[in-house]
Chains A and B, each alone.
Chain A
Amino acid sequence: MNILVSIKRVPLPGEKIILTKDEQEIDTKYLGFAVSPHEECAVEEAVRIVEKHGGSSTVLTLGTEDAIAQLHEAMAIGIDQGILLETDRSEWNAMATAKAITSAVRAKEEEGEKFDLLFFGNESADIGGYQVGIRVADALDIPCVTGVKEIEIEDGMARVKRKVSDGSEIYEVPLPAVFTIKEGINVPRYPPMIGKMRAKKKPLARIEPEWSEDGVEKIRLKTPEERGSTVEILGEGIAAVPRAIEVLKELGVI
């Protein structure tokens, strides 16, 4: 199996989101960054499939040079090589992102490297567009299943499971295919120390992608109104229990 995983670097906003003065971005001065959650699971799944079936894995991201840290995180748990679609722009629209990834996949194919599986996150933590993986599958003219929570590979086919409200849907699709992964498919491992060191020596290609407008343009960001409740402190420690019981009664819970 030859697997490509596309990931996104996102800030870890903590308890409150603070915006920059121009309201264009989250103020990340004091924030850490991570691989967006669904994609973190996609990376883990790719590593597990290669461990089981053999083959190789590649991690790709579109972002600034800082995103190399997230490529290294993926390579630290076992991804073989990285591709950075390098840009100065902080945000790319979904159509341009999909086109850039499609071009990178085609360029790899021309070099003789063909992907059997292309993983994306179901939606990114920040923008949540639900569409980059779908657009790449459409452009490459290969099948795509979204919201994937389980994958089994057998004889050039993939049997995948997706959760729905009253159970699970099973799909059986030929490879190559695009799957957009959801958190819960696995519990990602922590990168071992030795993996972190090895990651920096793994191959990393840099490509300059081509930007294009898609007709959707951000004006500004703003924080939504608060829930509008004032907290009543019921007390400290077990001394709060009698008042807590009263509240449960008032709420009709008991």
Chain B
Amino acid sequence: MILGLIEHTQGALSDRTLETLTLARILAKDMDTPLEAVSIGEEVSDVVDELLAYGVSRVHLVQHEGLKDYAPDAWAESIVQLVEAESPAAVFAPGSERGNEILARVAARMDLPMVSNCMEIEPGEPFKITRTRWGGSLLEEATYKGKIKFFTVAPFSVTPKEVPVEGELAQNPVTPTLNDKDFLVRVTKLVQADGGGMSIADAPVVVSGGRGVGSVEGFAVLDELAELLGGVVGCSRVATDNGWRSHAFQVGQTGSRISPDLYIACGISGATQHWVGCVGSKKILTINTDPEAAMVTKADYAIIGDLHEVVPALSEELRKMK
């Protein structure tokens, strides 16, 4: 059996979960073994059809009165006990903050290795795997030996694909034995975001600035263009390091990974750190003085010129059209 940890909110599995189930299902098929899922502290009635569509034949529902608030050690211990009871060949978790942290805690408790950011798996003795490094700018092929294999799935690297399974979804309620120590680390309070403005992850258009912007004030022209296009302003790591913009708007490996309809990169050279954050954009338009910059050569469209002249001229034209 192959086991996959699922995350779901508002009646739908998360994108990271769909990627995870897709990769886990491929391995389950190759090993001729069923795919099962585990949901912690939450009902799955809303996602039964989705689980069946992605090839899950049975789901383990971990129930415990202490699991209402997120407590990563309690989650990990619950999975350890399930793994010991059900002996899966491999355990998958989504390539999300939680998925990576939970599986690392499970692997640490069981003193076994874990492979993060996996994108291809070939079973055998040993397993052959391909995983991402540098946020996806580089791939690593490796062999993997271990009694039970632990994988998290590289975000945006596996295309979710439905492979439905016949029949009903079997549900197995389980109650783990947890002690006070498992709840030492738990969420004591949730603070909702203030809801002010669109987030960089949801914006259809992102106008980003980098080194070429040159100052806090330099971003004013990008703010104006973003507003005219109904988008938001992002930035590169250089801009954050210089204190020109807040880290919440940083696009890149250590910032946000975004996939807007249009990404406009102004004065950004396109270092790998930045590129992996915007590579998922449907179209990329670069404005840069250097025609050789990676951000220019890898873009769909480019304007060779100074953003301080081009961006205001573009805004001016857009205003005329309104």
Contacts and interface: CB of A to CB of B under 8 A. Distances in A.
Among the interface residues B72, B152, B205, B303, which one has the most CB atoms of the partner chain A within 10 A? B303
Interface string B188-207: 11111100000001001100
A219 B283 CA distance: 35
A13 B271 contact: yes
A232 B240 CA distance: 29
Interface in B264-281: 269-273, 275, 279
Interface in B125-174: 126, 128, 132-146, 152
A168 B190 contact: yes
A244 interface: yes
A253 B262 contact: yes
Contact of B241 (A187, A229, A237, A253): A187
A195 B188 CA distance: 39
B192 A167 contact: yes
A193 interface: no
A238 B185 contact: no
Contacts of A94: 113-114
Interface stretch (B26-34, B50-58, B293-301): B293-301
A47 B129 CA distance: 40
Given A128-B133, A170-B187, A135 B108 contact: yes
B257 interface: no
Contacts, number: 248
A210 interface: no
A93 interface: yes
Contacts of A129: 104, 114, 116
Given A128-B117, A170-B187, A171-B185, A37 B237 contact: yes
Contact of A187 (B128, B192, B240, B309): B240
A215 B304 contact: no
A90 to B, nearest CB: 13
Given A170-B189, A245-B317, A240 B114 contact: no
Interface string A32-52: 000001100000000000000
B144 to A, nearest CB: 5
Contact of B114 (A131, A139, A237): A131
A145 B128 CA distance: 32
A183 B253 CA distance: 10
Q: Is the interface of B mostly helix, strand, loop or mixed?
A: mixed
B121 to A, nearest CB: 13
Contact of B285 (A98, A187, A247): A247
Interface size class of A (residues with CB under 8 A): 35 or more
A143 B185 contact: yes
B300 to A, nearest CB: 5
Contact of A241 (B204, B306, B317): B317
Nearest to B136: A224
Interface string A133-164: 01101110001111100000000000001101
Contacts of B97: 146-147, 162, 164
B220 interface: no
A209 B126 CA distance: 27
Contacts of A16: 272, 294
A234 B313 CA distance: 14
A142 to B, nearest CB: 9
Contacts of B132: 128, 224
Given A131-B107, A183-B254, A238-B309, A254 B229 contact: yes
A221 B285 contact: no
A174 interface: yes
B310 A240 contact: yes
A172 B142 CA distance: 39
Contacts of B297: 231
Interface string B1-20: 00000000000000000000
A69 interface: no
Nearest 10 pairs of A and B residues by beta carbon: A184-B247, A15-B294, A131-B104, A237-B305, A138-B108, A130-B100, A170-B189, A215-B145, A238-B313, A240-B303
Interface of A: 13-17, 26, 37-38, 93-95, 98, 123, 125-131, 134-135, 137-139, 143-147, 161-162, 164-174, 182-184, 187-188, 214-224, 226-227, 229, 231-238, 240-242, 244-245, 247-248, 251-254
